[in-house]
């Protein structure tokens, strides 16, 4: 390209990790979404994805300047970007449009995602709407929450349907708590029973049950990628909120993941002050902001 930036695409997650793995390992926290999805696709296949590619942007010096992917299983199938210079973003936008793809959204680290959406909108005569704003946190020193009754335990296979219902409700309640129209409906629809069974097999889905054996909270995580484990979802049904279940569960899972040697991270919805305060009180520290933008 005349800009001096080159964009390489592949639909082979293994090939992508072989090329970009060293770069991703340098900042495995900010790259968490890309690394976990790439590893999952490499190990289990992409499934039925309308768009499925990974991209590496190299600069004039031949070094990797940026990384992106398009693997979202929900409309408008946004492109996900990690941090990169503005010139690399422009080259990526031109290359994606040059493939003849209709790009309806962008997500990922700011400001790269904002710049990409703006470039696509300008090139196609459309407009952008900033939708979801999240913040990535990493656990520093774990601060124990106030004691609560009960215990953390793995979700059992016979409880998969209940876990699925709670994960899907988590997405709906996240929008309600943030006081906005549905913004996570695509994620909710894309998450199915196979995803629950995958998490059960990976050992990263738990319930918190009280002293009476009642299930009162659901918490999940992702398998570690480059030594980093990401917690989520974290869901307490409305009738059980305000009793400390979430704090107890997040602390317990954080401790479990850290004890096995992982760095522990999670995303929060910036429009939900309750969850942001909870995680910071437990010792989570902000790392980077992300955004999801619709182009229409």
The larger pLDDT score, comparing residue 184 to residue 202, is at 202
Amino acid 188: pLDDT = 75
Amino acid 273: pLDDT = 87
Using the predicted structure, report yes or no on whether residue 32 has a pLDDT greater than 60: yes
Using the predicted structure, report yes or no on whether residue 152 has a pLDDT greater than 70: yes
Average pLDDT, integer, range 197-209: 97
Using the predicted structure, report yes or no on whether residue 2 has a pLDDT greater than 60: no
Q: In the structure, what pLDDT confidence band is assigned to residue 5 with cuts at 50, 70 and 90?
A: very high
Q: Compute the mean pLDDT over every residue in the chain, rounded to the nearest whole number.
A: 94
Decide: helix, strand or coil at residue 282: coil
The larger pLDDT score, comparing residue 89 to residue 48, is at 89
Q: In the structure, what pLDDT confidence band is assigned to residue 185 with cuts at 50, 70 and 90?
A: low
Using the predicted structure, report yes or no on whether residue 1 has a pLDDT greater than 50: no
| Nearest-angstrom CA–CA distance, 216 and 102 | 43
Length of the chain: 296
Domain(s) of CATH 3.40.630.30: residues in the chain: 139-287
Using the predicted structure, report yes or no on whether residue 225 has a pLDDT greater than 90: yes
Q: Give kind and range of the element (H or E) at residue 69.
A: strand 64-70
Amino acid 83: pLDDT = 98
Determine the CATH number of domain 6-126.
3.40.630
Using the predicted structure, report yes or no on whether residue 125 has a pLDDT greater than 60: yes
Architecture in CATH for domain 139-287? 3-Layer(aba) Sandwich (3.40)
Q: In the structure, what pLDDT confidence band is assigned to residue 160 with cuts at 50, 70 and 90?
A: very high
Q: In the structure, what pLDDT confidence band is assigned to residue 162 with cuts at 50, 70 and 90?
A: very high
Q: Give kind and range of the element (H or E) at residue 252.
A: helix 245-259
My answer on whether omega of the bond before 278 falls inside 30° of 0, hence cis, is no
Using the predicted structure, report yes or no on whether residue 178 has a pLDDT greater than 70: no
Quick count: other Cβ atoms within 10 Å of Cβ 120? 25
Average pLDDT, integer, range 31-60: 95
Strand order across the beta sheet in which 105-109 lies: 6-10, 53-58, 64-70, 79-81, 105-109, 284-295, 128-139, 263-269, 228-235, 215-221, 205-209, 151-154
Amino acid 254: pLDDT = 98
The larger pLDDT score, comparing residue 132 to residue 263, is at 263
Using the predicted structure, report yes or no on whether residue 248 has a pLDDT greater than 50: yes
Quick count: other Cβ atoms within 10 Å of Cβ 172? 13
Q: In the structure, what pLDDT confidence band is assigned to residue 31 with cuts at 50, 70 and 90?
A: very high
Q: Mutual orientation of helices 112-124 and 86-98 as an angle, nearest 10°?
A: 40
Using the predicted structure, report yes or no on whether residue 183 has a pLDDT greater than 60: no
């Amino acid at each position: 390209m005349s800009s001096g930036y080159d964009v390489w695409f592949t639909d082979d997650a293994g090939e992508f990790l072989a090329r970009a793995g060293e770069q991703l390992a340098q900042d495995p926290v900010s790259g968490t979404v890309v690394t976990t999805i790439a590893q999952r696709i490499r190990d289990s296949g992409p499934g039925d994805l309308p768009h499925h590619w990974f991209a590496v942007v190299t600069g004039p010096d031949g070094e990797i300047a940026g990384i992106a992917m398009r693997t979202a299983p929900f409309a408008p199938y946004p492109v996900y970007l990690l941090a990169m210079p503005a010139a690399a973003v422009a080259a990526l936008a031109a290359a994606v449009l040059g493939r003849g793809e209709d790009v309806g959204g962008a997500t990922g680290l700011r400001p790269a995602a904002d710049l990409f959406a703006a470039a696509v909108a300008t090139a196609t005569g459309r407009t952008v709407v900033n939708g979801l704003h999240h913040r990535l946190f990493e656990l520093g020193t774990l601060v124990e929450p106030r004691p609560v009754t009960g215990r953390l335990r793995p979700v059992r296979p016979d409880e998969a349907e209940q876990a699925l219902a709670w994960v899907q409700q988590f997405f709906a309640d996240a929008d309600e708590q943030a006081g906005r129209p549905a913004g996570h409906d695509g994620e909710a629809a894309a998450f199915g029973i196979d995803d629950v069974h995958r998490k059960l097999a990976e050992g990263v889905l738990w319930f918190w049950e009280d002293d009476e054996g009642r299930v009162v909270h659901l918490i999940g995580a992702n398998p570690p990628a480059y030594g980093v484990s990401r917690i989520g979802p974290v869901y307490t049904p409305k009738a059980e909120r305000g009793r400390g279940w979430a704090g107890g569960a997040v602390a317990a899972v954080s401790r479990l993941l850290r004890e096995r040697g992982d760095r522990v991270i999670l995303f929060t919805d910036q429009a939900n002050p309750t969850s942001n305060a909870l995680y910071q009180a437990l010792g989570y520290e902000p790392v980077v902001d992300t955004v999801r933008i619709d182009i229409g």
